[in-house]
Structure 1
Amino acid sequence: MGEINVYGIYIPILLVQAIIAYVLFKLLSPLIDRLVMKGWIALPSIFNLCFYMVLLLFVHWLFIWL
């Protein structure tokens, strides 16, 4: 993967990707909350974890291909 050197401090690329995925998760979570309130999602905590992991995979894929 690699790291970014910011004024002598090495920041892992995975940390940057995780932060971007978390921001996306927080932006999309009101939409997911609506589905939870309607009862379409049975186990919301597990769904949220899986949803974050999918977003992290998507951001990682974007970093590789772009």
Structure 2
Amino acid sequence: MGELNVYGVYVPILLIQAVLAYLLLRVIMRLLDRWMAPDWVPMPNIFYLGVFVMLLWLVHEIFIFCQF
């Protein structure tokens, strides 16, 4: 995908996508924490890691689709 030049500092596009996916994850975590029953997910950290990876893939696909 490349990088973005911000005042002489090159920022990778994947970093921007990861930050957007993390912000979406924080919103989803707040919603899921309210709705999930206690101990419904045995290892919530691994569950949220999987959700983050799926969100990162989704944000990446949106960036690719909007590029063309």
Unmatched tracts of structure 2, length 5 or more = none
Unaligned runs of at least 5 residues, structure 1 = none
Alignment correspondent of 1:33: 33
Q: TM-score, normalised by structure 1?
A: 0.88
Between the aligned partners of 1:22 and 1:56, the Cα distance in structure 2 is 8
Find out whether 1:17 has 2:17 as its counterpart: yes
Equivalent in the alignment of 2:47: 47
Q: Percent identity?
A: 48
In the alignment of these two chains, the number of paired residues is 64
The RMSD of aligned alpha carbons is: 1.0
- Cα separation, 2, equivalents of 1:32 and 1:46: 14
How big is the shift at 1:62? 0.3
TM normalised by structure 2 equals 0.86
